[in-house]
Amino acid sequence: MILRSAAVVMAALAFAGPAAAACAHPHTSLAYLEGQIMCPTCNTTLDQSDAPAAQRIKVFIQKRIDECATADQIRSELVANFGTGILAAPPHEGFDLLAWWLPLGGISLAAAALAGGVWRWSRTRDGEEPPAGGTLDPADEQRLDELLARLD
Amino acid sequence: MRALKLSGQVVALAAVAGLLGLLVWRLTHRPAAPKIGGPAPGFTTRRIDGGSFDLASVRGKPVVINFWASWCGPCKTEAAELERQWQHYRGKGVVFLGIDYNDQTGDARRFLAHHNVTYPTLLDGSGAIGDRYGITGVPETYFIDRKGRIVGEHILGPITTSRWSEAFARGIQAALHS
């Protein structure tokens, strides 16, 4: 009886172990995160690296996914361990915001300068005197007639 | 109109000059290994077992700094030998410091337990300390004398190889006696 009970408990533990390790509804995936996380030793993202350090981080990410951790949690844990340099894109806070806003500001300024230039150019064109076609003065008109007559 | 055009050109030139300056600065400020005989770069970091550590706190003692990582194969090769050397020299006042470089703390703890490493381990997850020491990979080892100067040879591999085992012995002697 005792042996049978022990066997049942052991079988239950054997099945419960993997079930507890795997997350029924994962919040994220390795494929999603490995493009956002850098390999610290090779300066490429994890999806482009098979370096030992990258492989260890992939194992860590998969383990945390299996524990139902979210992408934010995993990123935070990696940042706590490696610093913000582990992220492929700088965080949206503090000084790192400059990395996001400076290019956008530059593009906006360039677009504004271009729009301003086009507007100014079109205004200049509007203000120009139209070409004097068809309004020759009588002397020129007479000279033109003489030239055309000579050609006939 | 002319003034606006001129100021636009000045701004564009300044932006290009700034970017060029940044490029030159980055190229000329790449981490380089500290010079033998020069001062050891200082640092403060976390210990793997909690608390912080400042290199200045061991000034006056010979120091062996070993950069390693749990994902590094040769680090496994030399781990037992480093521990043996630490047990041999600790009575002579030599401080051994393992610096866990670009590694995950959980993996590092397993590595230390597996290899029975007992000397202090410091964390360098971001690689900032490694950059200050200009390391090109792991394992690498430095020796610091009592005056805080880098001495001996910068060891660029596991201390178990014939090439580096003698350099390790000489490095410890240099740290002890210079």
The whole-number average pLDDT for the span B10-14 is: 87
| Residue of chain A nearest B46, judged by CA positions | A81
What is the biggest distance separating any 2 CA atoms in chain B, rounded to whole angstroms? 80
Q: Which residues of chain A neighbour B69 with C-beta distances below 8 Å? A: 53
| Alpha helices (H) in A22-151, listed in sequence order | 30-33, 52-66, 71-82, 97-127, 138-151
| Same domain (yes/no): B26, B93 | no
Residue A72 lies in a domain: yes
The whole-number average pLDDT for the span B125-149 is: 95
pLDDT reported for residue A14: 47
ipTM over 0.95: no
Residue A81: which of B1, B72, B104 has the nearest Cβ? B104
**How far, in Å, CA of B13 to CA of B170, rounded?**
55
Please give the residue range of the domain that contains residue A82: 26-92
| Same domain (yes/no): B26, B43 | no
pLDDT reported for residue A21: 55
Confidence of residue A51 (pLDDT cuts 50, 70, 90): very high
List, in sequence order, every residue forming a beta bridge with B53; answer none if it has no partner. Answer: B45
Residue B33 above 70 pLDDT?
yes
A71 at interface of B, judged by CB pairs closer than 8 A: no
H or E, element range at B46: strand B44-46
Residue A46 lies in a domain: yes
The whole-number average pLDDT for the span B53-71 is: 97
Cross-chain Cβ contact A113/B8 below 8 Å: yes
Cross-chain Cβ contact B105/A81 below 8 Å: yes
| Same domain (yes/no): B91, B107 | yes
Quote the minimal CA–CA distance from B115 to chain A in Å: 18
Quote the minimal CA–CA distance from B42 to chain A in Å: 19
Residue A27, SS3 per DSSP: coil
The whole-number average pLDDT for the span B59-82 is: 97
pLDDT reported for residue A131: 61
Residue B49 above 90 pLDDT?
yes
Domains contained in chain A, number = 1
Residue B152 above 90 pLDDT?
yes
**Closest by alpha carbon to B55, among B42, B65, B36, B39?**
B42
Please give the residue range of the domain that contains residue B12: 1-30
Residue A22 above 90 pLDDT?
no
pLDDT reported for residue A68: 95
Residue B129, SS3 per DSSP: helix
**How far, in Å, CA of B93 to CA of B177, rounded?**
12
| Same domain (yes/no): B24, B52 | no
**How far, in Å, CA of A39 to CA of A96, rounded?**
20
Residue B102: which of A41, A60, A113 has the nearest Cβ? A41
pLDDT tens, B72-94?
999 999 999 999 999 999 999 99
Q: Which residues of chain A neighbour B126 with C-beta distances below 8 Å? A: 40, 82-83, 85-86
Residue with tokens 């894109």: A89
Quote the minimal CA–CA distance from B103 to chain A in Å: 7
A42 at interface of B, judged by CB pairs closer than 8 A: no
Q: Which residues of B touch A (CB under 8 A)?
A: 1, 8, 69-73, 102-107, 125-128, 137
pLDDT tens, A103-140?
889 899 999 989 988 888 888 766 666 565 567 788 88
Higher pLDDT, B148 or A3: B148
Confidence of residue A58 (pLDDT cuts 50, 70, 90): very high
CB B159 within 8 A of CB B141: yes
Residue B125: which of A52, A60, A81 has the nearest Cβ? A81
Q: Which residues of chain B neighbour A55 with C-beta distances below 8 Å? A: 71
Residue A118 lies in a domain: no
Check residue A82 and give left, alpha or beta (phi > 0: left; psi -120 to 50: alpha): alpha
Instruction: Evaluate the CA torsion angle A102, A106, A112, A116 in order and state its sign.
Output: positive
Residue type present at position A126: D
CATH number at residue A46: 1.10.8.640
pLDDT reported for residue B1: 62
| Same domain (yes/no): B25, B90 | no
Q: What tokens does A90 get?
A: 């700088």
| Same domain (yes/no): B71, B53 | yes
pLDDT reported for residue A15: 44
| Same domain (yes/no): B43, B67 | yes
Q: What percent of chain A has pLDDT over 90?
A: 43
| Same domain (yes/no): B71, B106 | yes
Residue B133, Cβ neighbours under 10 Å: how many? 22
CB B138 within 8 A of CB B101: yes
Residue A55 lies in a domain: yes
Mean of all residue pLDDT scores within chain B? 94
Quote the minimal CA–CA distance from B109 to chain A in Å: 13
pTM above 0.90, yes or no: no
Q: What tokens does B39 get?
A: 């001062």
Domains contained in chain B, number = 2
The whole-number average pLDDT for the span B62-78 is: 97
Residue A43 lies in a domain: yes
